Structure 1
């Protein structure tokens, strides 16, 4: 799946949200490391990111070739400042209609509209991939992210009070959110999704 869209940020600068390419592998890993240091709201710690640039490169090639999953980056002034992805929940017919969204943005760029641009891109890509539901999990204390997702049409459908166990803040409650998409209904029967 291919995606490329230019966005004017809140500070007037232009950015591009596009597919992460194989040549971006090291920079994507660097951004991942950096964002995992800057917030306690992500699923893992920086030392738990155990892939190298070659593995990341292969992952990005697979995402470029996929018709159902995608990895995106946001580039400002030639620098990757955030990433997001859409990943299928599963390949069986009962969950073929569902995808998960993940996103991270470097702290220095928070509040500029980058998160919104990445979420909008994920919604567009998930719809194009014929998912009818996009899902995510967010720490309940992450008010900024909760507000963003709510503005983008995500609704809460449950909570897990012990979703994460942070070495900084103890148990963190996870809010489960979903957004219905305008994609066709999920395939039924024995058809297998391509890609």
Structure 2
């Protein structure tokens, strides 16, 4: 699936949303390390990844060529500052209708409308790919993200009170959310 969209941010700058390319691997790793070090809301810490430029390049190429999965990047002033993607839960008859949705934007770019646009694009792409349900987990303390997802129609369907355990030993409750795309 090929996608491209230029949007104007709330601060007047332009942001380009497009497919992640294999050539983005180095920038993607830099963005990943920064964004995953800025908040306790994400699944991993920057040093937990086994990614390297070669692995990321292959993954981005595969996703760009996929009919089911996609990774979209957000570029502001020539800098990769965010991404969002959808990925099939499992390629089995009983689960092919479900996709996981994930999104990250670097902290300096929060509140500019990037997350909203990335979410909307992923929902449309998921529908085009034939998915019937998008799913995500979000840290309960991340109210801004929950509000974004609810704005797009996601509903809570459960909670995991011990979903994450931070390095500081703090439990983080995860809110399980889904969006039914066939309604």
Please tell me the TM-score bracket, short chain as reference. Answer: over 0.9
Q: Which structure 1 residue ranges, 4+ long, deviate > 4 Å from structure 2?
A: none
Q: List gaps (5 residues or longer) in structure 1.
A: 184-195
Shift of 1:13: 1.7
Structure number with greater CO (CA < 8 Å, separation at least 6) is: 1
Q: List gaps (5 residues or longer) in structure 2.
A: none
Q: Which residue does the alignment assign to 2:28?
A: 28
Separation in 2 of the partners of 1:9 and 1:153?
22
In the alignment, is the contact (CA less than 8 A) between 1:40 and 1:168 conserved in 2? no
Separation in 2 of the partners of 1:157 and 1:148?
16
Shift of 1:182: 3.7
Give TM-score, length-normalised by structure 2: 0.97
Shift of 1:5: 1.4
CA displacement, residues 97-140 of structure 1 (integer Å, 9 cap, x when unaligned) = 10000111110000001111111111111111000100100000
In the alignment, is the contact (CA less than 8 A) between 1:68 and 1:129 conserved in 2? yes
Tell me whether 1:143 sits opposite 2:143 in the alignment.
yes
Give TM-score, length-normalised by structure 1: 0.91
Shift of 1:168: 3.1
Separation in 1 of the partners of 2:172 and 2:132?
29
Give secondary structure in 2 for the equivalent of 1:96: coil
> What is the root-mean-square deviation in Å for CA atoms of aligned residues?
1.1
Q: Which residue does the alignment assign to 1:48?
A: 48
- Corresponding residue pairs, total: 183
Q: Which residue does the alignment assign to 1:159?
A: 159
In the alignment, is the contact (CA less than 8 A) between 1:160 and 1:175 conserved in 2? yes
